[in-house]
Structure 1
Amino acid sequence: MDVKVKELIVTAVQDGIELGEMTFVDSGSFYIIDHTGVTDAARGLGVGKKLVAAFVEHAREKAMKVLPLCPFAKAEFEKNSAYADVLYGN
């Protein structure tokens, strides 16, 4: 699975088929995750987790904090203490 962060979207693609996407907003001082979606066929494969993990790495590379407003992303941040360094407000 190939996960890429582009302008304001993170995509997960396998064999040329998009399995999921996560959208975000750049506020200038931090990122806001506003949506995470996975196709029905890819549910249960960990695609959403991979999208969040790739975005966290992107935020670290850019020295940005992340405000996860999307319920899925918010839950991933709450479950994974390794993401605390990029969590907005920490």
Structure 2
Amino acid sequence: MTDSRPGVTVREDGSRRVFLALLDDGTEAGGAYYRRRDGVVTFTHTEISPDLEGQGIGSALAAGALDQVRAAGERIVTLCPFVKAYVERHPEYQDLRA
């Protein structure tokens, strides 16, 4: 059995206030949009291209974005239902909550 899920890299685009999910071929598969203030990143909305949903890209995006927030020493607020549910399912990110 082979894993057909695409490889995902997460990169922040600060000018657009979004963490981007980029596929191995450079395709923008989606983004986790945010506001940042006083060391707190508020996730407001996450979207994945409809033709790529259900392939684990959203989860890879959430994990990558949260890891970058942690590395920057920041905290999070999860207004976005997807990121909120992801954090609730992954206790290793609970400590990031503001």
State the TM-score, normalized to the length of structure 2: 0.83
The answer for unaligned runs of 5 or more in structure 2 is 1-7
Match of 1:33 in 2: 43
Report the Cα offset of residue 2 of structure 1: 2.2
Q: How does 1:1-20 map to 2 (within 5 A)?
A: 1-7=8-14, 8-14=17-23, 15-20=25-30
List 4+ stretches of structure 1 deviating above 6 A: none
Q: TM-score, normalised on structure 1?
A: 0.90
TM superposition shift of 1:29: 3.0
Deviation at 1:16, TM superposition (A): 2.7
Give the residue type in structure 1 aligned to 2:11: K
CA contact (8 A) 2:21 2:57 kept: yes
- RMSD of aligned Cα (Å): 1.1
Q: Aligned residues: percent identity? A: 26
1:62 lines up with 2:69 in the alignment: no
